[in-house]
Structure 1
Amino acid sequence: MVNILTRFKKQIETSDRNKDNALKTHYYKATFNQLFQSVEKLFHDDADCKVTTVSKDHGEIAVEINKPIPCFLVVTIVSVKPLETAVDFNISSESFSLLGLYPQLKKRIESYYERIGRLHNLVEIRKNV
């Protein structure tokens, strides 16, 4: 459940330390190059997205999203083992919504993780111990 203050946040970042399991770093069974190419293609093929910057050296892809709400997304891809690669998202918007943007931004991240999961096997989502 989203509390009233969280609901109005305009920025979400996934990480291993996030309390919400849906917003934890996802680890996939793939090499860095395989996953990076898949994610880059995923955003290039999406009509609502415009890839603005690609930095393979830093493992980052920056994307402008037009619909349903204008927002900016940075995807970070990091190889942690030879066949295990992590994906994190940082999404933000300057838009305003009376009902708050957090639920829409979270839904966007969940859908991207789901789409990547269709292309690569999910190894794990690390739980807090």
Structure 2
Amino acid sequence: MSFSNKLKDFFSTYQETNEKHHISDLKSHYYKTTYKNALHSIQSIIEQTTGMTITSISEERGEISVNIDHPKKAFLIVTVISVRPYETAVDFTVSTNTFLPTDFGFSKKIIQQLYKRLDEKETFVGVGKSM
């Protein structure tokens, strides 16, 4: 990872996963499960996590909106995409609510924790696979 990417990541209050992210931990994760099972697994993980409150669920669009109140205030959007039967991609977007120009890696840690818990719950296939 280049110095400019490290600097940009440090001075950020926003983190998003995608297919070709420069940080391997923040690449899209793929699971061997159906779209609905992945959505329900994520929902149960979030409901069991202290400080997280689901504000809305859109099964048609595959999105879950979450307010995070503890340890810092943040907003999380989970996107679930069915790639093919029994292969589903999951992406996260976290925006931290702070007056500072950095969240000191909080948004990245949230994503890593959620992926870790989801990896334990569903059959993990891989990261950053090109469609």
Q: Is TM > 0.5 for Structure 1 vs Structure 2?
A: yes
Q: What per-residue deviation string (whole Å, max 9, x for no partner) do you get for residues 62-89 of structure 1? A: 0001111110000000110111100000
Aligned length: 127
Show the counterpart of 2:59: 56
1:41 and 2:32 are equivalent in the alignment: no
Show the counterpart of 2:28: 25
> After the TM superposition, which parts of structure 1 deviate over 2 Å for at least 4 consecutive aligned residues?
1-6
Unaligned 5+ residue runs, structure 2?
none
The 3 A distance-change label for structure 1 pair 75 and 102 is: farther
CA contact (8 A) 2:15 2:108 kept: yes
CA contact (8 A) 2:18 2:128 kept: no
Show the counterpart of 1:113: 115
Show the counterpart of 1:68: 71
Q: CA deviation at 1:6?
A: 2.3
Q: CA deviation at 1:102?
A: 4.9
Q: Which of 103, 106, 112 pairs up with 1:104?
A: 106
Unaligned 5+ residue runs, structure 1?
none
SS in 1 for 2:8: helix
CA contact (8 A) 2:50 2:70 kept: no
Q: CA RMSD in A?
A: 1.8
CA contact (8 A) 1:12 1:102 kept: no
SS in 2 for 1:15: coil
Q: Tell me the distance in 2 between the aligned counterparts of 1:80 and 1:97.
A: 38
